[in-house]
């Protein structure tokens, strides 16, 4: 689910900042608490190993030299570079994907403006309008099934499920399946074609009066449908060609290695720098200060992972089911509510 | 309110620079003075604690070791990276949002060019033109209510307020409410639809002379309206899908932690490096030089916070109420002032 | 072949991350295992040379001083900068190229919408439709032969191969060759021209009924064809003007030099820092920790090399042959399946 | 004035580079010589204060400790980050603004192509063409008066000045002033509206032959005019919403502080490192090497300041007056030179 | 000349990489060999001066202190930042310029599709087509003369040269010169205007059959011509407003200063660190390791210089003369080859 906080960030004062930091849902705390706990347990485990096994054994010196070595690797800057590179690349992609997921209002308005209800009987007009709504919803669902795991798994695992929802008749489903395409291919463009063909079959009357759309109106409508289909189709391309897997692997692997290495670095600092202090004090002082940077690295990595696939099931991913509900409501209002009552104030308006 | 300083920066000489630095409204000084004072007080407080409680107590050594540790954390570079990353991401978004908030001149000009006043009586023509202005303003207000806290809270808390302003008749309001959509949904597209339908109802005459728009003119007008609606609609999407909350939280939390940590780092420097000097001198020398960097970090963080939501109430945010006033004035001039007097110099112009 | 992992990255939890890291095909492991092995062997070789030849010889001191010197060169940051610069430049280009490779659905839908089957006999209509499919496929193949080594070498080494596939008649081939252009030039625009001319010859009937496309429909179709050709043509430009060779050379050369230099740096650390330890221990400790960074550099360089030419034969390159198969299937479904059965639910749909 | 050096940089050899470096007009030397001199004088002044006042006084030690402290602040990286961030943000904006300042050739060509001179008498046709030129120039002047301090102050301080130039008749001026808009608002869109209305009034003849533009031609012309107006209007928006003032202030303030601090750092190096040398030698050696970096910082800051407002009066700013002269010349050639002599070679051309 | 290496980089294996590195034409080696030799000679010269003049003289100590000082300047990071900033800015511009240099295929296809040969006699039709080709070529040549030093100097130093090539008749040249524009202004838009006017004069027949273009076809053609002219015109703007000269100067000056300073740094390391070694060994060890970084800086700077003006004469610049030849060939094929033989397979195609 997308997590909105725009209104909460309207003014940038102290209260806002604190309130933003304390949010849980979709927050960085929710993202990292598991990793952080694991990392702390690993730290404790490593400490125990040292204290009860290695210490005072014959490996003690070698172990300490190993820790020394780990501590001097110059990886901070490399890590920061890698993480910003990865996050900014993923973020750019995330935004671009969102921009491609156009909303169907333009198509609906275009239809509304150019469709002449009076050319057919009121019943038929309403039926056409409802079919347009159905087909638009259908196109979105067919597309989202392909990119969003949530829609595919929880909402419409089979095409029959869509028929149950009333968005597809079984006749249409069998027609769709009779096409020569593989079942696994995405058929999201078929409803768009159907929309155009329904209107084409009905509008191409010799008699201009009986036609539901003018020639020019139909052309504009075609333009809009095809540009909408094109933009939605780009989402499939984006899905088909992700960032190179090697890039994602490199960054993930490297950050986890660093975090793992940091366990030994922390050890080394605790063991070696505070020889003269009590062990407890060393652990506290070192633990707190080191945790700080490690939590930052975990947080940054997690953020970059979360936005790799914006149609996934993370809290910050696009809420595909919300979108579908919203589109359904808006399309019904736009196309199927009575069209007659256009308000028009004949009285002198107040601003005169 | 947007803070303009373009003319003040026309030439880049010393006076300009000094004058720019001394501005208060919308300045960085206004942004950071509160944080800076708090930070200085915290510093003083920490010093007092050391001087009167810790010093010469049994915790003195442990405290000093803790300070030493804090001082050696390699976080400067990480901080700078995080802050530039955050600021540049937010700035890109800020600019993109501004680019989406198209001005209504294009729609108005398109209407003006294609509307044939002579097809209806002068009174009706003026009434139509006024209604177009009203609906355009209404669309902007409905949209801005959704994204700008200022417009929603201080200007149009309820729809009735808009009716009072004369931009909406109560008949239109009830029509708007009779739609099936949820009340909380944004209805900004309804006025656009109304504009198109008013013209459509009046222009679709069989008799070409009596029609207020030609077929082609109407199509161009539809194109313009729909593209304007589309761009405005993208603002809603931007508002709906902000930058991942986790990113904002991470950066904010990390910078505040660093600032908090810097209190101890300053302490450590004052206490430990100047053992041989008088304490007063150490405080002055260290305080001044350390304040410098901390103020920079605060300023940078604050700037990045201020531009997260460009429709908020910070001094540098887009001035939605100014925009509305400006649009109202321009639309009235464009559409409702007498259209007859097109100037046209029949005499030989001067440049011959 | 493009390596998809979007669905696998739907949620960002531990299992996903581990599963992603363990993928082999298209992974970073596949990319770097050869280089890494070579680099380790070189390391072993250098160690042997030192141990059996240089050590205790008269060159020992000079060699050690040389190693010292290598160890102190400040190249880490430069390396990271170069690698991120190169990767991000290449990645931008990679994405842009992908965006240019438009899919033919828009053209096909446009044709479908505007083509009036009833104007000609069913057989002729089907033949026209099939010819359109053939020509669209032909345009893609001619283009991809020029940019994708795979298509050129393994799929269509000669034009006769295309004739064999039935996508080109020998009559058309000879016509194509009779043009004045050099054989090596890319003729990808010819099929687009043919598509337009076939329709033009058939549609320009005086009798409106007998025309397969209306005037306006044809114009929209021309627009779509020409914009598609323009976008595809940009791929040729991209191919013709790569990133400056000097840039690629500099980065590659510098990274390999650094990796080579790191062999001596590793040597120096092993030899010089652990004078007091056994040689075996030093090799293990130093080897493991140093390998880490070097593998990262190799991985990063390899990634940047792999995405230089997105139409090459690396696992992460665009899968041109898959694209061709897919386009062929979609175009056939769109254009050549029976067009009559437009579904249209006359019964009240379920969502009422 | 824009400073062109493209031809001088055609080949990148040594001569070119030296010649580019030695340019004065619009050069970095012109930008920084004043600041550099001031900075050197401040340095000398600080040295004198030390030599004649502080040295050997009781403050000597404290002063030296202060200098030591200044020398150890880690600000180099922060400074470089800030400066590249600022310069690249400003440069992006600078380019975008330039891209928005479209040239009027497209509008003029569109008019030329669609205007039918034969529909009116030659005199009237020429008069219409001249009026179009006047109005286009007028639109540019009204716009540039709002954004360019040079045009507003030195060229057209009042609207009457424009009337004097013959680009506006007094009748038109009074019409413009009779509009309801505030005088301070920008009226740049009025001439565009006038252009459209002049043509509309003359072309909307029932008789097709007597019309100066066809329906479709007029529509294309309207499209072009409105898109030009839209792009020019965006310049006003850019001018209205600059980069947040706080950002500019922070960067400027911080760089100047650093430069000021560097005076003490230089001092500290001269005083403390060369205790054993003669003071003169220390000053020379230190002065030269330190100057180098400081001049770089000044240069970078100045560049970023100069490009904040591209319509200002710096040497590198857009040369608004040159643009106006150029547009006037091109528009006159395009629209008002005799249109009859279209060349057309009836003989076989040479390339046969 | 543009240096293509896409096919050579199809797969990223070791052979490819080595082959790419060994290329000479357009390579980094070609770019830097002169500078590198100069730099090495300067180094040798400085060493000689020290060895034979300064050494053992009274200046020895002061010189050594100066060298020490040079060695400690923290400029590596600044240098890397400056160089990446400069290269990436120039590269962005380079790509954008290339994107603006649209190819004339779209215009030619649009003409081909809409031009009705049967409306005029075959001879006249061919003559019109040839004239279109001539004018398109002319527009490109006039434009490229203004931005490409190569075209201006070596190919078409005077307009008469173009007449000699048969691309311009002397009648057209005198017409072009009779316009009121300054001779130095770029007239590249005139041929576009001529193209439109030729068609306009011939197509605007009352009799539809005798017209060479339909109304709608002509409008689409106008659209295409004007958009092509607009894009080409942007190249002139890019040429007119380069990156601020100050930026280029700063970067160039600073890098050369650093390289010059590095001579002394190298000296200092050779002289001071290896006091105990033989001078020869020190020179070898230090020389090799230092050369490495300096060659990188030279290479990077040279690359950034080479791509400042993409129409220059460097190996990596756009090959304007190749473009002209290619366009000429393609346009001739598209427009002047016999148009009748549209292939159309009446037999059942093979894929059935």
E247: which chain D residues are within 8 Å (Cβ-Cβ)? 28, 87, 91, 303
Which pLDDT value is given to residue B277? 53
Q: How far is Cα C290 from Cα C71, in angstroms, rounded to an integer?
A: 12
Stretch D197-207: mean pLDDT: 72
Are C217 and A215 in contact by the 8 Å Cβ rule? The answer is no
Which pLDDT value is given to residue A79? 81
Are E81 and D293 in contact by the 8 Å Cβ rule? The answer is no
Closest residue on chain A to B235 (Cα): A99
Helix (H) or strand (E) holding B231: helix B215-240
- Asked whether the beta carbons of residue B244 and residue A334 sit closer than 8 angstroms, the reply is no
Name the residue among D326, D352, D343 with its Cα closest to residue E191.
Answer: D343
Which pLDDT value is given to residue C71? 63
Which pLDDT value is given to residue A311? 77
Are E1 and E26 in contact by the 8 Å Cβ rule? The answer is yes
Q: Which pLDDT tens digit goes with each residue over C137-185?
A: 999 998 888 888 778 888 888 888 888 888 888 888 888 877 666 656 6
Are D191 and D142 in contact by the 8 Å Cβ rule? The answer is yes
Q: Which pLDDT tens digit goes with each residue over A233-261?
A: 888 888 777 788 888 888 888 888 887 77
Which pLDDT value is given to residue E228? 92
- Asked whether the beta carbons of residue C326 and residue A70 sit closer than 8 angstroms, the reply is no
CA A318 to chain centre: 4
**Calculated CA dihedral for residues C319, C322, C326, C332, nearest 10 degrees:** 130
D277: DSSP letter: S
What ipTM was predicted for this assembly? 0.85
- Asked whether the beta carbons of residue B147 and residue A6 sit closer than 8 angstroms, the reply is yes
Q: Which pLDDT tens digit goes with each residue over E184-239?
A: 667 788 889 888 888 887 666 666 677 888 888 888 999 999 999 998 888 888 87
Are D133 and D332 in contact by the 8 Å Cβ rule? The answer is yes
**Are A and D neighbours with ≥3 CB pairs closer than 8 A?**
no
Are D174 and D195 in contact by the 8 Å Cβ rule? The answer is no
- Asked whether the beta carbons of residue C34 and residue E14 sit closer than 8 angstroms, the reply is yes
Question: What is the distance in angstroms between the Cα of D308 and the nearest Cα belonging to chain E?
Answer: 12
Stretch A160-172: mean pLDDT: 85
- Asked whether the beta carbons of residue B342 and residue D197 sit closer than 8 angstroms, the reply is yes
Are E23 and E9 in contact by the 8 Å Cβ rule? The answer is no
Helix (H) or strand (E) holding B221: helix B215-240
Instruction: Return all residues near E125 (Cβ < 8 A) that are at least 6 apart.
Output: E115, E117
A114: which chain B residues are within 8 Å (Cβ-Cβ)? 222
Instruction: Return all residues near A192 (Cβ < 8 A) that are at least 6 apart.
Output: A135, A139, A225, A226, A228, A229, C109
- Asked whether the beta carbons of residue C113 and residue A179 sit closer than 8 angstroms, the reply is no
Q: Which pLDDT tens digit goes with each residue over A189-225?
A: 888 988 888 888 766 666 667 788 888 888 899 999 9
Would the pLDDT of C100 be above 60?
A: yes
Q: How far is Cα D34 from Cα D40, in angstroms, rounded to an integer?
A: 10
Question: What is the distance in angstroms between the Cα of D257 and the nearest Cα belonging to chain B?
Answer: 9
A81: which chain C residues are within 8 Å (Cβ-Cβ)? 80, 84
Give which of E74, E226, E244 to mutate to test D binding, by max D Cβ within 10 Å: E244
Question: What is the distance in angstroms between the Cα of E281 and the nearest Cα belonging to chain D?
Answer: 29
- Asked whether the beta carbons of residue E312 and residue D342 sit closer than 8 angstroms, the reply is no
- Which of C281, C316, C341 lies at the smallest CB-CB distance from A244? C316
Q: How far is Cα D254 from Cα D262, in angstroms, rounded to an integer?
A: 12
Give which of C86, C333, C334, C337 to mutate to test A binding, by max A Cβ within 10 Å: C333
Question: What is the distance in angstroms between the Cα of B9 and the nearest Cα belonging to chain D?
Answer: 6
Angle of CA points D344, D350, E1, to nearest 5°: 110
At B279, the pLDDT band (50, 70, 90 cuts) reads low
- Asked whether the beta carbons of residue D201 and residue B342 sit closer than 8 angstroms, the reply is yes
Which pLDDT value is given to residue E348? 43
Q: How many CB pairs under 8 A join A and C?
A: 214
Which pLDDT value is given to residue E343? 59
Pure H helices in chain C: 14-22, 28-49, 60-71, 76-100, 105-114, 122-147, 149-150, 159-164, 170-178, 189-203, 215-240, 245-268, 279-306, 320-331
Highest mean pLDDT among A307-316, B206-215, B261-270, D295-304: D295-304
Would the pLDDT of E145 be above 60?
A: yes
Q: What percent of the residues of chain B are helix, what percent strand, and what percent coil, each to the nearest 5?
A: 70, 0, 30
- Which of B180, B194, B198 lies at the smallest CB-CB distance from A329? B180
| C41's tokens | 């062997």
- Which of B70, B193, B246 lies at the smallest CB-CB distance from A316? B246
| B28's tokens | 């960085």
- Asked whether the beta carbons of residue A316 and residue B175 sit closer than 8 angstroms, the reply is no
Return the number of other C-beta atoms located less than 10 Å from residue E41's C-beta.
10
E39 vs C317: which has the higher pLDDT: E39
Closest residue on chain D to E193 (Cα): D109
B130: which chain A residues are within 8 Å (Cβ-Cβ)? 349, 351-352
> Three-class SS string for chain A?
CCCCCCHHHCCCCHHHHHHHHHCCCCCHHHHHHHHHHHHHHHHHHHHHHHHHHHCCCCCHHHHHHHHHHHHCCCCHHHHHHHHHHHHHHHHHHHHHHHHHCCCCHHHHHHHHHHCCHHHCCHHHHHHHHHHHHHHHHHHHHHHHHHHCHHHHHHHCCCHHHHHHCCCCCHHHHHHHHHCCCCCCCCCCHHHHHHHHHHHHHHHCCCCHHHCCCCHHHHHHHHHHHHHHHHHHHHHHHHHHCCCCHHHHHHHHHHHHHHHHHHHHHHHHHHHHHCCCCCHHHHHHHHHHHHHHHHHHHHHHHHHHHHCCCCCCCCCCCCCHHHHHHHHHHHHHHHHHCCCCCCCCCCCCCCCC
Q: How far is Cα E197 from Cα D338, in angstroms, rounded to an integer?
A: 13
Per-chain mean pLDDT for chain E: 77
C207: which chain E residues are within 8 Å (Cβ-Cβ)? none
E31: which chain D residues are within 8 Å (Cβ-Cβ)? 12
Neighbors of chain D by Cβ distance (3+ pairs < 8 Å): B, E
Which pLDDT value is given to residue D2? 56
Stretch C229-253: mean pLDDT: 84
| Domain boundaries defined on chain D | 25-103+244-260+287-307, 104-241
Stretch D232-255: mean pLDDT: 83
Are A281 and A274 in contact by the 8 Å Cβ rule? The answer is yes
- Asked whether the beta carbons of residue D217 and residue E219 sit closer than 8 angstroms, the reply is yes
Would the pLDDT of C281 be above 70?
A: no
Neighbors of chain A by Cβ distance (3+ pairs < 8 Å): B, C
D339: DSSP letter: -
Would the pLDDT of D269 be above 70?
A: no
Would the pLDDT of D270 be above 80?
A: no
Which pLDDT value is given to residue C234? 87
What is the percent of chain E where pLDDT is above 90?
5
- Asked whether the beta carbons of residue E175 and residue D341 sit closer than 8 angstroms, the reply is yes
At D347, the pLDDT band (50, 70, 90 cuts) reads very low
Secondary structure class of B302 (helix, strand, coil): helix
Which pLDDT value is given to residue C225? 92
| A26's tokens | 């979709």
What is the percent of chain E where pLDDT is above 70?
75
Would the pLDDT of E339 be above 60?
A: no
- Asked whether the beta carbons of residue E69 and residue D281 sit closer than 8 angstroms, the reply is no
Would the pLDDT of A350 be above 50?
A: no
Q: How far is Cα D203 from Cα D207, in angstroms, rounded to an integer?
A: 9
Per-chain mean pLDDT for chain A: 77
What is the percent of chain C where pLDDT is above 90?
5
Question: What is the distance in angstroms between the Cα of C184 and the nearest Cα belonging to chain A?
Answer: 30
- Which of A20, A84, A341 lies at the smallest CB-CB distance from B81? A84
Return the number of other C-beta atoms located less than 10 Å from residue D64's C-beta.
16
- Which of E105, E110, E346 lies at the smallest CB-CB distance from C127? E346
Question: What is the distance in angstroms between the Cα of A247 and the nearest Cα belonging to chain B?
Answer: 20
Would the pLDDT of D7 be above 70?
A: no
Secondary structure class of E319 (helix, strand, coil): coil
Question: What is the distance in angstroms between the Cα of B341 and the nearest Cα belonging to chain A?
Answer: 21
Which pLDDT value is given to residue C36? 82
C336: which chain E residues are within 8 Å (Cβ-Cβ)? none
Are B255 and B82 in contact by the 8 Å Cβ rule? The answer is yes
Stretch E17-27: mean pLDDT: 77
Name the residue among A47, A35, A75 with its Cα closest to residue A284.
Answer: A47
Helix (H) or strand (E) holding D177: helix D170-177
Per-chain mean pLDDT for chain B: 77
Would the pLDDT of B156 be above 70?
A: yes
Which pLDDT value is given to residue C271? 63
E300: which chain D residues are within 8 Å (Cβ-Cβ)? none
At C211, the pLDDT band (50, 70, 90 cuts) reads confident
Which pLDDT value is given to residue A251? 84
Q: Is A154 exposed, middle or buried (0-12, 13-18, 19+ CB in 10 A)?
A: exposed
Q: Which pLDDT tens digit goes with each residue over C299-316?
A: 888 888 888 777 776 666
How many separate helices (H) and strands (E) can be counted in chain E?
14, 0
- Which of A12, A217, A349 lies at the smallest CB-CB distance from B305? A12
B8: DSSP letter: G
Are E350 and C165 in contact by the 8 Å Cβ rule? The answer is yes
Would the pLDDT of D1 be above 60?
A: no
At E136, the pLDDT band (50, 70, 90 cuts) reads very high
Which pLDDT value is given to residue A351? 39
CA distance from start to end of chain D: 46
Which pLDDT value is given to residue D338? 62
Q: Is C190 exposed, middle or buried (0-12, 13-18, 19+ CB in 10 A)?
A: buried
E209: DSSP letter: G
| C337's tokens | 């399946």
D222: which chain B residues are within 8 Å (Cβ-Cβ)? 110, 113-114, 220
Which pLDDT value is given to residue D277? 53
Q: Which pLDDT tens digit goes with each residue over B118-150?
A: 888 888 888 888 888 999 999 999 988 888 877
Closest residue on chain C to E219 (Cα): C219
Which pLDDT value is given to residue B349? 41
| E229's tokens | 């002219």
User: What Rg do the C-alpha atoms of chain B give, in angstroms?
Assistant: 30
User: What Rg do the C-alpha atoms of chain D give, in angstroms?
Assistant: 30
Q: Which pLDDT tens digit goes with each residue over D16-30?
A: 777 777 877 777 888
Q: How far is Cα D342 from Cα E201, in angstroms, rounded to an integer?
A: 9
- Asked whether the beta carbons of residue B245 and residue A3 sit closer than 8 angstroms, the reply is yes
Stretch C96-124: mean pLDDT: 85
Q: How far is Cα E115 from Cα E92, in angstroms, rounded to an integer?
A: 39
B10: DSSP letter: S
D53 vs D14: which has the higher pLDDT: D53
What is the percent of chain C where pLDDT is above 70?
75
**Are D and C neighbours with ≥3 CB pairs closer than 8 A?**
no
Give which of B107, B246, B308, B316 to mutate to test A binding, by max A Cβ within 10 Å: B246
D225 vs B64: which has the higher pLDDT: D225
Would the pLDDT of E70 be above 80?
A: no
- Which of E7, E26, E91 lies at the smallest CB-CB distance from C149? E7
């Amino acid at each position: 689910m997308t997590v909105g906080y725009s209104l909460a960030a309207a003014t940038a004062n102290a209260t806002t900042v604190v309130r933003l930091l304390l949010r849980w849902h979709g927050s960085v705390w929710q993202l990292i608490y598991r990793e952080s706990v694991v990392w702390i347990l690993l730290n404790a485990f490593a400490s125990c190993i040292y204290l009860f096994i290695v210490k005072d054994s014959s490996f003690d010196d070698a172990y300490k030299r190993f820790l020394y070595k780990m501590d001097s690797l110059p990886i901070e800057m490399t890590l920061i570079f890698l993480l910003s590179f990865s996050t900014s690349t993923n973020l750019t992609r995330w935004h671009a994907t969102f921009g491609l997921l156009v909303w169907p209002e333009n198509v609906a308005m275009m239809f509304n403006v150019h469709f002449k209800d009076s050319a057919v009987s009121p019943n038929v007009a309403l039926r056409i309008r409802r079919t347009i709504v159905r087909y638009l919803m259908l196109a979105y669902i067919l597309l989202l099934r392909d990119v969003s795991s949530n829609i595919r798994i929880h909402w419409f695992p089979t095409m029959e499920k869509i028929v149950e929802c009333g968005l597809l008749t079984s006749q249409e489903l069998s027609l769709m399946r009779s096409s020569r395409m593989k079942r696994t291919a995405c058929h999201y463009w078929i409803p768009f074609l159907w929309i155009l063909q329904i209107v084409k079959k009905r509008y191409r009357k010799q008699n201009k009066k009986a036609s539901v759309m003018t020639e020019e109106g139909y052309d504009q409508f075609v333009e809009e449908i095809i540009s909408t289909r094109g933009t939605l189709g780009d989402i499939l391309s984006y899905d088909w060609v992700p960032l190179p897997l090697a890039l994602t692997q490199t960054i993930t692997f490297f950050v986890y290695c660093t975090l793992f290495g940091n366990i030994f670095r922390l050890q080394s600092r605790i063991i070696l720098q505070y020889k003269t202090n009590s062990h407890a004090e060393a652990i506290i002082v070192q633990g707190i200060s080191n945790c700080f940077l490690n939590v930052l690295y975990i947080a940054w990595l997690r953020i970059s992972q979360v936005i790799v696939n914006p149609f996934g099931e993370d809290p910050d991913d696009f809420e595909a089911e919300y979108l579908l509900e919203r589109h359904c409501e808006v399309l019904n209002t736009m196309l199927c509510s009575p069209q007659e009552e256009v308000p028009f104030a004949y009285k002198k308006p107040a601003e005169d």
